Amino acid sequence: MPKTPTDGPAQPRLFTATVFEGFGTSLFRPADEPIVGRKFRSKQPSRLRKQVRTHAPRTPGVYGMIDERGRLVYVGKAKNLRARLLSYFRTNSRDPKAGKIIRHTRVLVWEQIGDELAALLRELELIQTLRPKFNVLGVPGLQRHHYICVGKSPAPQVFVTNKPTGKELGIYGPLVKRNRSEDAARRLNDWFKLRDCPQTVPLSFADQPDLFVQDRAAKCLRFELGLCLGPCAGACTRKEYGAGVRGAKGFLDGRDRTILATLNRLMADAAANFEFEKATAMRDRLQTLEWLDARLTLLRQARTKNSFVYPLVGHDGRERWYLIHRGQVRAVCFTPTTDDERARAAALTAATFGVGPASPVLTGGAVDSVLLVAAWFRRNAGEDAKLMSHGVYPRGLENCKEPRG
C-alpha cells in the first residue's frame, strides 16, 4: 500500500553503522521506489575523492558526511551528486566551511533522489530530524523561530515570544529575524497607542472606579509623546484601549491594512513638502510593516489554501505526484498507470486532503517546508500551470474502485 501522511510500511535503512544508522525512511519518496545509495570509508580525502569520481551519479540526491566517531556531521543536497561532491575536494575554489567539513569526514554516504524538488525536501527533512553539527552550528538566535502575539490582560499589547502560551488573543508566525519582529511589534504598539511596559506596572482605566483617590502619573514618556493611551495613568477607558487592540489585531489578521495606505500617504506628503527626515521615518515604518504583512499573508495562505497535486517528471523519466496540502508536501506517489495504482493513488489523495481543520499556528518545521515549496514555484516559473485541483480527483482517478488485496 502507498504510505499515507501519517503512517506507512517501514522501508529498509540504507546504511548501518555504530552511531549513524542511515537516513531512514522519507515522506518524499513513493512507497514502491527502491532506495539507491552508496557508502565509502577512508581517512584520506584523496581516496574519498576517487570513489566519488568513480561511483557518484549525475543525478539529484542527498549526501552525508560522517566523522571518526560515527556521527553524522553534515547533510547536503545536490541537483548533480557527482559535481557537488567533487567540489568539496577542490582546495583552491571551495569555501572554508566545505574544507572544514571534509577534514572531519571519514565516511561519505549518498542517496539518489527522483528529482531536484525531492532532494530539497529530503535535505530539510534530514536536517530537522538528525540535526547534523555543521548544518545547525552557528545558526544565530535571531534566525530561530518566534511569534508575534497580542495579549496580556488587562491591557493587551503586541509582543514577541519564542513560546506562546495559547492564551493570547492572537498568535502570528513563526517568524525569523527577531530584531525585525521586535521592531514591527514596537511600531504597532506606537501606532495603535498600546502599552509596552512590563506586567509589573499597575494599570487602571478611566472608567474603573477607585476606592481611594490616587495621583496617577504616566510611567514613561510614550504617553507624553502621544504613543500610548496611558492605561497606567487612567487616561483612557477600556473601550478606547480595546479599539486600539482591535486595530492591531485587524492588521495582523490581514483584515485591515489601512495603516499601510496611511503611512504611504504620509511619506508622500512629507516628501512633497521637503520634510525629508519625516519622510524617511515614515518609509522605515512602512517597510517594517510591509515585511511583516507579506510574511503573515504567506503563512495564512499556507494554512487555508495552497492545496493541490503537482506532477513532476524525474531524472529517470518517471512522473511523480506531489500531494501538497496547505503549502506542505504531505505525500508522494508515482503517477498511476494501472487500475490498482489508480485506486491506491485515489486512497492516498483522499487521506492527504481529508485531514482535519488547519492548525491556527504553523510550527517551526512546517513553516520551513511551506517556504521551501513557495520558493520552488517562484524559481520555476510556469510550473504552477501543471497543478491539479484536489477538489476533484486528479486526471486518471475518476471512478476508481477500491484497491484489491
CATH number at residue 86: 3.40.1440.10
> What span, in angstroms and rounded, lies between the C-alpha atoms of 389 and 395?
10
Asked whether the predicted pLDDT for residue 245 surpasses 90, the reply is yes
Residues 99 and 46 placed together within one structural domain of the fold:
yes
Q: How far apart are the first and last CA of the chain?
A: 9
Q: Return the bridge partners of 65, or none.
A: 74, 108
pLDDT average, residue stretch 91-102: 88
Do 146 and 120 sit in the same domain of this protein?
no
- Residues contacting 37, CB < 8 A, separation 6+: 14, 15, 23, 61, 109, 110, 111, 112
What pLDDT, on the 0 to 100 scale, is given for residue 184? 96
Residue 159, beta-bridge partner list: 149
In a domain, 25, yes or no: no
Ranges of H-type helices in 309-389: 339-353, 364-379
pLDDT of 105 over the 80 cut: yes
Domain tally for the chain?
3
Q: Which structural domain, as residue segments, surrounds residue 156?
A: 142-296
Assigned domain for 190 exists: yes
State mean pLDDT over 80-94. 92
Examine the domain organization and report whether 350 and 275 are in the same domain. Answer: no
Selection from 330, 386, 326, 158 nearest residue 251 by Cα:
158
Statement to judge: residues 279 and 369 lie in one domain: no
What residues have CB less than 8 Å from 204, skipping those under 6 apart? Answer: 210, 214, 216, 231, 232, 234
Looking at the structure, tell me whether residues 202 and 324 fall in a common domain.
Answer: no
Distance separating alpha carbons of residues 216 and 210, to the nearest angstrom:
11
Peptide bond into 5 cis (omega under 30): no
Q: Is residue 290's pLDDT more than 90?
A: yes
Residues 153 and 266 in one domain: yes
pLDDT score at 32: 87
Q: What is the reported pTM?
A: 0.71
Place of cell 487555508: 304
148 and 291, same domain (yes or no): yes
pLDDT at residue 303 above 70? Answer: yes
Residue 326 lies in a domain: yes
Pair 212, 342 in one domain: no
Q: What percentage of the chain carries pLDDT values higher than 90?
A: 49
Q: Which of 47-56, 126-135, 217-226, 360-369 has the highest mean pLDDT?
A: 47-56
Whole-number Å distance between alpha carbons of 145 and 186: 18
Residues 59 and 133 in one domain: yes
**What is the CB-side half-sphere exposure of residue 251 using CA atoms within 13 A?**
27
Residues 112 and 151 grouped into a single domain: no
For residues 70 and 43, membership in a common domain is answered with: yes
Res. 166: pLDDT tops 50 = yes
11 contact partners, CB below 8 Å, separation of at least 6: 24, 25, 26, 29, 31, 35
Q: Which residues are CB-contacts of 121 (< 8 A; sequence separation ≥ 6)?
A: 27, 28, 329, 369, 372
| Helix (H) or strand (E) run with residue 295 in it | helix 276-304
pLDDT at 398: 47
Q: Specify which residues 71 forms β-bridges with.
A: none
pLDDT-derived band at 203, boundaries 50, 70, 90: confident
Cell of 231: 492605561
3 state DSSP class of 224: helix
Residue 152 lies in a domain: yes
Asked if 185 and 240 sit in the same domain, the reply is yes
Lowest mean pLDDT among 30-34, 44-48, 206-210, 213-217: 213-217
